[in-house]
């Protein structure tokens, strides 16, 4: 199977910058996507194609890619950003065309 | 804007078949990929499979032997069947849309957007 690895948790104070990483062997060849999920709600797409931001997503959300790691950066974190964040991508062979990371709980202190 | 709504039984007995339908409103089911994704209570997301509006499918290898996804373009709906369920299949089941974009011969998905609100399916006798 193909796995995307995320840290279980990240904590930051309001106004600081949060960085959530996602690692996978195929990430140099496959785009990554990021989703925000608040309790009791469906996930919401916040980044697509590694670094593109959908309309309606605040500019403080950004994405980047370097080798086998992609990073979701939230600048000037607000209390409302506290949520679970999931990366999503695919393996390079096509066997696993859609795979989610295990998720990262972002806590705003 | 496009909205997705899952529907189906909230309780299924072990060894039986789970059946869900996703109704698409506010837009056409044509020209998009449509996925089912699930989330066991307190756990992460798992992609189950997708169907293109034309009927072609792709499934998660770990579930492939038990999954069937179908589409009814006349009703703007697509459906999930998961056979031989066990307690491990208890989860919130989401449906979601993917848009493919092609430029200069390179195609890529714009991600899962939007999602349905999700429906909890419990497997229990």
pLDDT at B107 over 90: no
Write down the pLDDT at residue B18. 98
pLDDT band for position B124 (50/70/90)? Answer: very high
Alpha carbon B2 to chain centroid, angstroms? 16
Residue of B58, B108, B116 lying closest to A42 (CB–CB): B116
Mean predicted lDDT score pLDDT of chain A = 97
pLDDT at B60 over 90: yes
For residue B101, give the chain A residue with the closest CA.
A49
Dist CA B41 CA B81 (whole Å): 20
Mean predicted lDDT score pLDDT of chain B = 96
pLDDT, mean of residues B78-88: 98
Q: Which helix (H) or strand (E) holds A82?
A: none
Write down the pLDDT at residue B105. 87
pLDDT, mean of residues B65-82: 97
Dist CA A3 CA A100 (whole Å): 8
- The answer to whether A103 contacts B44, with C-beta atoms less than 8 Å apart, is yes
pLDDT band for position A82 (50/70/90)? Answer: very high
Extract the tokens encoding A44: 């919401």
pLDDT at B106 over 90: no
Residues 6+ apart with CB under 8 A from A51: A62, A63, A64, A65
Chain A, window 56-85: residues with a beta carbon less than 8 angstroms from a chain B beta carbon: none
The answer to whether A47 and A63 are in contact (CB under 8 A) is yes
pLDDT in tens, A13-50: 999 999 999 999 999 999 999 999 999 999 999 999 99
Chain A hits for B62, CB-CB cut-off 8 Å, are 1
The percentage of residues in chain B with a pLDDT greater than 70, rounded to a whole number, is 100
pLDDT in tens, B23-50: 999 999 998 999 999 999 999 999 999 9
A96 interfaces chain B, CB cutoff of 8 Å: yes
């Amino acid at each position: 199977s193909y796995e995307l690895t995320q840290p279980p948790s990240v904590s930051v104070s309001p106004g600081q910058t949060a960085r959530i990483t996602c690692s996978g062997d195929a990430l140099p060849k496959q785009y990554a996507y990021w989703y925000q999920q608040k309790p009791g709600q469906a996930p919401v797409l916040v980044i697509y194609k590694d670094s593109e931001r959908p309309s309606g997503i605040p500019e403080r959300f950004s994405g980047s890619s370097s080798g086998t790691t992609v990073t979701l950066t939230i600048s000037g974190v607000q209390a409302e950003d506290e949520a679970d964040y999931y990366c999503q991508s695919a393996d390079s062979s096509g066997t696993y065309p859609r795979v989610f990371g295990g998720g990262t709980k972002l806590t705003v202190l | 804007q496009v909205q997705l709504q899952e529907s189906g039984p909230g309780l299924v007995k072990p060894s039986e078949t789970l059946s869900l339908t996703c109704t698409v409103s506010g837009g056409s089911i044509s020209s998009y990929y449509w996925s089912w994704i699930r989330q066991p209570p307190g756990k992460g997301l798992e992609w189950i499979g997708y169907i293109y509006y034309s009927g072609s499918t792709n499934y998660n290898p770990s579930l492939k032997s038990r999954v069937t996804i179908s589409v009814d373009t006349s009703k703007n709906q697509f459906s999930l069947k998961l056979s031989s369920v066990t307690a491990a299949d208890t989860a919130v089941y989401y449906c979601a849309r993917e848009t493919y974009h092609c430029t200069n011969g390179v195609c890529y998905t714009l991600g899962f957007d939007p999602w349905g609100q999700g429906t909890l399916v419990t497997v229990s006798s």
